[in-house]
Structure 1
Amino acid sequence: MNSLPPAAQFSPDALALRDPDAVLFGDRLQALGSRALVANVEAEAFVERAGGHALPVIVTHGAIGTSYVAAPHSAYALYPRAELDLVDLGWMRGPASLAIAAADGVLRALAINRAVQIDNWLLSTCLHGHWKGEGLADLRQRLAARFPDHYLLIRSVDDWSCPELTAALRDDGWMLLPCRQIWVTDDLQRDWAVRKSVKNDGRKLAQSGLAIEDVAVLGDADAARVAELYAMLYIAKYSALNPQYSPRWMQLAVECGLFHLRVARDASGQIMAAVGIVARGGIATNPMMGYDMGRPQSDGLYRIASWLVGDFALRHGLRLHGSAGAGHFKQQRGARSEIDYMAIHAGHLAMARRLPLKGIASALETLAVPQLKRRML
């Protein structure tokens, strides 16, 4: 582990882990309304129980153009279309554009955004913690009876982070649609801490003069600053389809234990970088990151923010789910790729809304997955 100046030392007590409070999360989301917390999500929320686990459930009724965290049409059509301008696919650009256009039309016709989404925390990656699929069939039956015209969805499914849940979904007849290439680190001590790039990132923090704080209570001013930094990166630089979190969202995420929030402050106390880390079931991921994009790249704020996530996982002996994107950067720091899936159940729907999805799942597995594995996206 890198040696840091006193201002960058961390209190072990401040790094304590706790499971997020699904009931508080769901109740607050329902009471305030989704748009007050995430501006580009239009959804109802409640909490269901399965096998003793409290699971937030998000219900959407078909709106197009909202964030991919609650809109599968955006995940499979709008977001990939936007990313075509950000990556070099060479000769594959034309076929990819046609495939995305076809998916757009089919998914609109299927009303794929009319969906009940189980264990959805409105994050880019929804870790499922210790839920291994207990009570899945009963939960499916209850929700299908309550919402007979909606698909049932579970995002962020893969054989690395939730193998038992993935197996349970397959056994219960759910379709698994390939969604993203994700970057994962199995052993932080072996695969991350020893890397030259990681040691350089730690030195950059040590030289920065920034003070690291693990935030237990997020005040209004700091919440506004964290939301601003996140928006600079994920909304302004990347895509308006990323979840547009409000300051109240940041406060709720900290209050209910969804985020372990780490910030880097300058000498005046201004937050220059922030990461929201989710730790569940022995895995950490950081679905919220932001830093001051007005600072020169030489300040290394992205590197510092990323280091804070790896340091957190290392200190707790967690595996690290690096989500999607920045493949080369993450591979240099010990990550390897896996494929992330969206599980969909449509057995209670008309055949016309079921069969096309099977064709899409097969096409994605055959055509898209090999391309993802060949490219560090």
Structure 2
Amino acid sequence: MNDQPDSAEFDQPVTRRAGEPEASQFVSEVTARVMPSLIANVTAELTLVRHAGHDLPVVINHGDCGGSYVAAPHSAYVLYPKAELGLVDLGWLRVPASILIGLADRLFRTLRINHAVQIDNWLLSTNLHGEWTGAGIADLRADLARRYPNHFLVVRSVDPWSCPELLKNLRADGWLLLPSRQIWVTDDVERDWASRNSVKNDRRKLLQSGLIVEDVERLSDADAARIAQLYAMLYVHKYSALNPQYTPRWMQMAVATGLFHIRVARERDGQILAAAGIVARGGIATNPMLGYDTSRPQADGLYRIASWLVGDFARSHRLRVNGSAGAGHFKQQRGARSEIEYTAFHAGHLPFWRRAPLAWVALALEHLVIPVMKRRML
């Protein structure tokens, strides 16, 4: 996370619809650089596919294991849950969960699950699919299967709340849906979020802190480095090194291309203590980048302040919120409710021994893992 950006690379503002990232700009900026200079634990390729009037970023992994789950299905379904075992209280379920994860590890390595072509993947924890509904998905799927005959075809971040038409079209085209995680969504921010006492207390904490809220239009080198540091403090060092390890260069690129709208809370001397990177597509906001100074006392409420920045942005822009996974109790107290998110796989072009076991995995996840997620608000 020590990569220092060259701000001159991102000096030109990008013309785009307000709040909506442009896929062609995003892919162009990413492919002009070595991927690990943007995300330290991703080595996959990125390309652009134009289909049915939509520009879609496509991530291609040729089998590399151990990197971030944003580009590696094995990390999402094996390595990340394995790391979570040490953070979540599962009680007596810990032993059977560990055994199941070990079996999944061997199975997914045998299937070569990381040979994957991931459609509309923005290298984020949550991909918002916006206006792409999967219309004509059969043609796109057939074309990609011809180009990548040894790869699974994958669509991450599919759920019935944010992209019901995409989910419907994937099902109709025979894609297999594997539950991936429980996410927390807010249907009406004004009604469900702003009226909560916990949210009012979060705003009060911000006012008492004396921090200055700023919407950042262009990141300086110093601010980019600080925001990357705050993100790493929370998501990489506190939670998991399998989260995407965004560098300062990524932060500047994300702002320049319109991928991130960044809000920060600064001290009077300019030091950033909390930051949120917000993505907005199709009337929905999500925050794949959140960070705060974890060395400060918990009583400072910096996580609450960072989260408030996201809700306040969504409220002012009249957006629904996909709050991603984790911190279920915290988000529920602030008006969110749960949905199950899926990753869609298509393997019809692959040998039987590589495609058939996925159906068994999907069945096991649906009946064994989802009830635990819901019961323990994972």
The aligned counterpart of 1:10 is none
The aligned counterpart of 1:5 is none
Q: Give the deviation of 1:95 after TM superposition.
A: 1.0
Q: Give the deviation of 1:33 after TM superposition.
A: 2.0
> Which amino acid in the other structure matches residue 246 of structure 1?
T
Distance 2:357 2:142 in 1: 22
Q: Give the deviation of 1:317 after TM superposition.
A: 1.2
Distance 2:297 2:106 in 1: 42
Distance 2:245 2:208 in 1: 32
Distance 1:58 1:20 in 2: 17
Q: Give the deviation of 1:141 after TM superposition.
A: 1.1
- 1:48-197 map, 5 Å: 48-197=49-198
1:288 aligns to 2:261 (yes or no): no
Distance 1:352 1:225 in 2: 47
Distance 1:69 1:56 in 2: 13
Distance 1:161 1:212 in 2: 29
Distance 2:97 2:156 in 1: 23
The aligned counterpart of 1:262 is 263
SS at match of 1:101: helix
> Which amino acid in the other structure matches residue 66 of structure 2?
G
> Which amino acid in the other structure matches residue 145 of structure 1?
R
Q: Which moves more between the two structures, 46-55 or 341-350?
A: 46-55
Distance 1:276 1:293 in 2: 17
Structure 1: gaps (5+ residues): 1-15
- 1:336-347 map, 5 Å: 336-347=337-348
Identical positions, percent? 68
Q: Is the CA contact 1:17–1:279 (under 8 Å) kept in the aligned structure 2?
A: no
- Write the deviation string for residues 25-61 of structure 1: whole angstroms up to 9, x where unpaired: 1122222021111010011111001221111001001
- Write the deviation string for residues 257-297 of structure 1: whole angstroms up to 9, x where unpaired: 11110011101001111100011111110010011111111
Q: Which moves more between the two structures, 131-140 or 295-304?
A: 131-140
Q: Is the CA contact 1:21–1:256 (under 8 Å) kept in the aligned structure 2?
A: yes
1:241 aligns to 2:226 (yes or no): no
Distance 1:27 1:136 in 2: 24
Q: Is the CA contact 2:19–2:261 (under 8 Å) kept in the aligned structure 1?
A: no
Distance 1:259 1:243 in 2: 15
The aligned counterpart of 2:321 is 320
Q: Is the CA contact 2:130–2:282 (under 8 Å) kept in the aligned structure 1?
A: yes
Q: Is the CA contact 1:50–1:134 (under 8 Å) kept in the aligned structure 2?
A: no
Report the TM-score when normalising by structure 1: 0.95
Q: Is the CA contact 1:33–1:44 (under 8 Å) kept in the aligned structure 2?
A: no
Q: Is the CA contact 1:184–1:321 (under 8 Å) kept in the aligned structure 2?
A: yes
The aligned counterpart of 2:368 is 367
The aligned counterpart of 1:232 is 233
SS at match of 1:32: coil
Q: Give the deviation of 1:135 after TM superposition.
A: 2.7
SS at match of 1:344: strand
- Write the deviation string for residues 168-216 of structure 1: whole angstroms up to 9, x where unpaired: 0000110000000101111111111111100000000111111111011
SS at match of 1:153: strand
SS at match of 2:223: helix
> Which amino acid in the other structure matches residue 246 of structure 2?
Y
Distance 1:272 1:106 in 2: 43
Structure 2: gaps (5+ residues): 1-16
- Write the deviation string for residues 85-128 of structure 1: whole angstroms up to 9, x where unpaired: 10111111111111111111100101100110100011000000
Distance 1:54 1:276 in 2: 22
SS at match of 1:320: strand
Distance 2:128 2:283 in 1: 10
Distance 1:37 1:298 in 2: 33
Q: Give the deviation of 1:134 after TM superposition.
A: 2.0
Q: Is the CA contact 1:185–1:322 (under 8 Å) kept in the aligned structure 2?
A: yes
Q: Give the deviation of 1:363 after TM superposition.
A: 0.7
> Which amino acid in the other structure matches residue 85 of structure 1?
G
SS at match of 1:179: strand
- 1:327-338 map, 5 Å: 327-338=328-339
Distance 1:190 1:264 in 2: 25
Distance 1:295 1:374 in 2: 32
Q: Is the CA contact 2:152–2:345 (under 8 Å) kept in the aligned structure 1?
A: yes
